[in-house]
Amino acid sequence: MLSIEQIINEPEIVRQKLVDRGEDPPIEEMIELDARRRALVHEGDELRAKRNEVSRGIGQSGGKPSPEQIAEMRSVGDRIKVIETEQEEIQQELHDLLIVLPNLPKDTVPVGPDEDSNVIVREGPPPGERDFDVEPNWDFADRTGIFDLAAGAKMSGARFYVLKGKGAALQRALSDWMLDVHTREHGYIEIAPPFMVRSETMTASGNLPKFADELFHDEEDDLWLIPTSEVALNYLHSGEIIEPGALPLKYVAHTPCFRRERTAAGRDTRGIKRVHQFEKVEMFQFVDPDQSGGVLDGMVDDAIDLCERLGLPWRLLALATGDISFQSAQTYDLEVWSPGIEEWLEVSSLSNCTDFQARRSNTRFRPEEGAGTGFVHSLNGSGLALPRMVIAILENYQQADGTVSIPEVLRPYTGFDSIG
RNA sequence: GGAGGGGUGGCCGAGUGGUUUAAGGCGCCUGUCUUGAAAACAGGUUUACCGGCGACGGUAACGCAGGUUCGAAUCCUGUCCCCUCCGCCA
């Protein structure tokens, strides 16, 4: 959520940044609503002050109000009720306008309407040359039986799949290894959150109210399946004031992610690249607002580190204003090359959400003892998305004889050296 | 799923319609005393919003949301959460 103070103080900057994202924000309307809200708050406060004063007097003089007092206070009470109702309506109106506005992109974000304006900012070593054709992961899977799309479709429908045998073990090895690197070397605390959350939680992360279509929802208990553990982690300190010195808070979680993929209905229908349920290791940090820029770079390094240790060809993209996610002020996508399908696969999206999610979840901090409170900054990034890492390993580690050798770092976790 | 109990400040805990402007205690901060500390004593100790250049003044919040009332921590309704017992169950 954007702050109304900022909208009032620098309306043209806010407008331009939202226009860069393809929005047409009702700036004047919001300013006008807030002015009316303030006037009503003021009038209501004064009436309540009067009521409090008279009530105190009645209490002090024995507790029996005169008929005149009752009549007068009844009309004051009626007026307060009218003002409160009007104030609530206006606040709701303003809230409804604010809650659907995305975060403001940072000045350094490339301006452009869509992904064509994304910029490659860092690259790992180039993909190696091979003297044989790499088999696409789905063909390899059919041949070896390590994942089964038909079985997934049979039990759950399109875009579900079943991992089997060494396929399941490879994914488990990857997630265990990633968690170990993040917790033992990168300084993250492991969290195992619920996979279902309330509407408030989903709203705080920015997924509701605008993106309900992309989510699975249980009507009976009004619970939402998380599309990423970011949603749960963002709510971990909701309503709290984090004490001086406690930041940064670095969390990592390994959860399934549930996505309806409605807007991407026709895209990536083959294989396990885009599915309704997948697993992901997610990094999440709450930080001092002064630190968030540098922390994002550090989080990017944490994600790249995994690709490097696995020896996968990678590149890093700075997403354009029209391509960053709703809650983000700045996003990098980390992609790895997969030589069988000949595609760059997005295995991590890393975002600085500044105070956007903290406002929605009411997560504050105290910079130092005795100081006032402020909203924290939140950052998230995959570290990393598992099905796509499985694809990348199956294709990058494929040998001329049609087998896949397991990356050295994963062998202690898999207990086997090759598949196929 | 059934029955019962409960949610009050950083913590414990009193408070069943009006001097509650939330008692009392603990913790924490400041001061007096002391070589220093402790003890004792005194004062202070939330968050958000509105008005004001400011000193400051006002309003709200007793899980949350409604309602009754001139007036609600207190009464009513709903809801969320916690605890105990029963049932079921990985």
In this complex, the answer to whether residue A35 has its CB under 7 A from any atom of chain B, a nucleic strand, is: no
Phi, psi of A347 (to 5 degrees): -105, -10
A38 touches strand B (CB under 7 A): yes
The ipTM assigned to this model is 0.86
Domain annotation covers residue A107: no
Is pLDDT of A332 > 90? yes
Task: Indicate if A14 and A128 belong to the same structural domain.
Answer: no
**Residue A303 has which token pair?**
């994600």
Please compute the mean of the pLDDT values over residues A7-19 and round it to a whole number: 95
B65 C1' to A240 CA distance, Å: 21
- Strand B bases, protein C-beta under 7 A: 18-19, 21, 47-51, 57-60, 66, 69-71
**Of A47, A69, A98, at which residue does a domain stop?**
A98
- Are the C-beta atoms of A6 and A31 separated by less than 8 Å? no
For residues A267-292, average pLDDT? 94
Q: How many CA atoms lie within 13 A of A354 on its CB side?
A: 16
Domain housing A17: 4-98
Token output for A273: 């690249």
Instruction: Give a yes or no: residue A49 inside a domain.
Output: yes
Answer yes or no: do A219 and A364 share one domain: yes
- Give the rounded percent of residues in chain A with a pLDDT score beyond 90: 76
- Residue A58's H or E segment, with its range, is helix A27-60
Lowest mean pLDDT of A45-59, A262-276, A321-335, A372-386, name the range.
A45-59
CA of A356 to C1' of B22 (A): 36
Residue numbers in A 366-395, CB below 7 Å of strand B: 366, 372-373
C-alpha A195/C-alpha A202 separation (Å) is 11
Q: Are residues A49 and A197 in the same domain?
A: no
Q: Are residues A165 and A246 in the same domain?
A: yes
The length of chain A is 420
Nearest protein residue to nucleotide B45 (CA to C1' distance) is A370
Contact, A66 CB vs strand B, < 7 Å: no
Residues contacting A363, CB < 8 A, separation 6+: A234, A237, A238, A239, A240, A242, A286, A357, A375, A376, A378
**Strand B neighbours among A 262-301, CB < 7 A:** none
Convert the pLDDT of each residue in A154-175 to its tens digit. Answer: 999 999 999 999 999 999 999 9
User: Can you give the distance from the CA of residue A50 to the C1' of nucleotide B48 in angstroms?
Assistant: 21
Q: Are residues A94 and A127 in the same domain?
A: no
Residues 6 or more apart in contact with residue A286 via CB below 8 angstroms: A237, A242, A247, A248, A249, A358, A363, A365, A376, A377, A378
Q: Is the pLDDT of residue A74 over 90?
A: no
DSSP string, A82-116: HHHHHHHHHHHHHHHHHHTPPPPPPTTSPP-SSGG
The domain spanning residue A249 has which CATH number? 3.30.930.10
- Give yes or no: residues A274 and A383 share one domain: yes
Q: Which two tokens stand for residue A268?
A: 């990536």
The two three-digit tokens of residue A291, written as one number: 């630190």
Whether residue A109 lies inside any domain: the answer is no
At A65 the pLDDT is 82
Contacts of A198 (CB under 8 A, 6+ apart): A222, A223, A224
Nearest CA-CA partner of A48 in A86, A85, A88, A77: A77
- A130 and A60, same domain (yes or no): no
Per the domain annotation, does A103 fall within a domain?
Answer: no
* Residue A61 Cβ < 7 Å to strand B: no
Residue A370 has pLDDT above 80, yes or no: no
Let me know the angle formed at the C-alpha of A265 by A260 and A271, rounded to the nearest 5 degrees. 85
Q: What is the pLDDT of residue A63?
A: 66
Asked if residue A108 belongs to a domain, the reply is no
Mean pLDDT to the nearest integer, A359-367: 90
CB A379 within 8 A of CB A332: no
Same domain, yes or no: A170 and A224: yes
Angle, vertex CA A192, rays to CA A188 and CA A195, nearest 5: 130
What pLDDT does A202 receive? 94
In this predicted structure, the answer to whether residue A295 has a pLDDT above a threshold of 80 is: yes
- Measure, in angstroms, how far nucleotide B54 C1' is from residue A45 CA: 22
Confidence of residue A416 (pLDDT cuts 50, 70, 90): very high
Calpha distance A246→A207 (Å, rounded): 27
List the A237 CA – B77 C1' distance (angstroms).
Answer: 31
Residues A304 and A409 in one domain: yes
A196 touches strand B (CB under 7 A): no
- How many whole angstroms separate alpha carbon A372 and alpha carbon A114? 40
Q: Which residue, counting CA atoms, is nearest to the C1' of nucleotide B51?
A: A42
Contact A284, A229 (CB under 8 A): yes
The predicted structure's pLDDT at residue A243? 85
* Nucleotide whose C1' lies closest to the alpha carbon of residue A45: B59
Same domain flag for A336 and A193: yes
The 10s digit of each residue's pLDDT in A104-154 is 999 999 999 999 999 999 999 888 888 999 999 999 999 999 999 999 999
Indicate whether A77 and A144 sit together in one domain: no
Given this model, what pLDDT does residue A221 score?
A: 84
Among the candidates A37, A72, A98, a domain finishes at A98
Domain membership of residue A110 (yes or no) is no
At A248 the pLDDT is: 92
Do A131 and A183 belong to one domain?
Answer: yes
pLDDT per position as a tens digit, A193-223: 999 999 999 999 999 999 999 999 988 888 9
CATH number at residue A13: 1.10.287.40
Provide the CA A36 to C1' B75 distance, Å, integer: 35
Query: What is the spatial distance between Cα A402 and Cα A419, in angstroms, rounded to a whole number?
Result: 9
Q: How many domains does chain A have?
A: 2
Nearest nucleotide (C1') to alpha carbon of A35 = B50
Residue A234 lies in a domain: yes
Q: What span, in angstroms and rounded, lies between the C-alpha atoms of A18 and A322?
A: 10
In a domain, A391, yes or no: yes
Give the domain-ending residue among A69, A98, A127: A98
Residue A62 above 90 pLDDT? no
Interhelix angle for A11-20 vs A27-60, to 10°? 130
